[in-house]
Amino acid sequence: MSKTGTRLDPHLAMMGIQTWRQRGAPAPGDGSDKARPQAGVDELDWGGLSEHVASCTRCELHATRIQTVFGSGNKNANWLFVGEAPGSEEDKQGLPFVGRAGKLLTAMIMALGMQREEVYIANVLKCRPPNNRDPMGAEVTQCERFLHRQVALVQPKIIVALGRFAAQSLLKTTRSIGKLRGERFTYAATEIPLIVTYHPAYLLRNPIDKRKAWQDLCLAKGLLAP
């Protein structure tokens, strides 16, 4: 790509991606839009699901949490980003991705031409594992049904799984993230495309892989192109 022209937005720069746009070339666009339902988790509406999560004691994580972290964003979003579990800041604020990894995720979303408020963000686990350890299998099994209901309620046009635990939970696989990246999957029995990329926390520790993550996001965006 020619470097004659104006440098592209600072959010890509924050990801460590240096790109250029020819003068007069159009900037990236965005989009957003969807529906709603109402016992068992599979029949709960947004309010009922949020209350169910807030009072959940199905695994030991409820004993150490400050509060549950349900999810946030546009409930009719085209894009759904799924992480693994809340960290310490998320546990304090009750919102997903509000720490350093959250700032990077926000930059990634803005580099795609969207505002964070346009997408929906959730985690597989709704409670923080102590010391930010990896989620345990039993915890994922107990909690992932809440995430699956969120997917059904949002009805996104694309899902981006951030990291191994999100990918393995959504795809029901044990494959490594290295073997899941770069492929187009579909979520469960739906036709919703699903793309796997690195978790922002991993990218903070391994900035050399930010370019790969950007490739994944571009793949996801391409799947939504008319």
Q: Which of 184, 185, 167 is nearest to 176 (CA)?
A: 167
Q: Which of 8-22, 38-52, 148-162, 202-216 has the lowest mean pLDDT?
A: 8-22
DSSP output for 146-177: HHHHHHHHH--SEEEEESHHHHHHHHT----H
Please, what is the average pLDDT of the chain?
87
Residue 130 has pLDDT above 70, yes or no: yes
Q: How far apart are CA 215 and CA 118, in angstroms?
A: 21
Residue 180 has pLDDT above 80, yes or no: yes
Q: How far apart are CA 171 and CA 29, in angstroms?
A: 29
Quick one: pLDDT at residue 189? 83
* DSSP class of 28: P
Residue 131 has pLDDT above 80, yes or no: yes
pTM, two decimals, is 0.83
Quick one: pLDDT at residue 224? 87
What percentage of residues in the chain have a pLDDT greater than 90?
78
pLDDT tens digits, 27-84:
444 333 333 333 589 999 999 999 999 999 999 999 999 999 999 999 999 999 999 9
**Can you tell me the mean pLDDT for 4-14?**
57
- Which carries the bigger pLDDT value, residue 61 or residue 7? 61
What CATH number has the domain spanning 37-224?
3.40.470.10
Q: How far apart are CA 216 and CA 219, in angstroms?
A: 5
Question: Is beta strand 120-123 parallel, antiparallel or unpaired with respect to 158-162?
Answer: unpaired
* DSSP class of 46: H
Quick one: pLDDT at residue 2? 43
CA geometry: angle 152, 141, 44, nearest 5 deg: 35
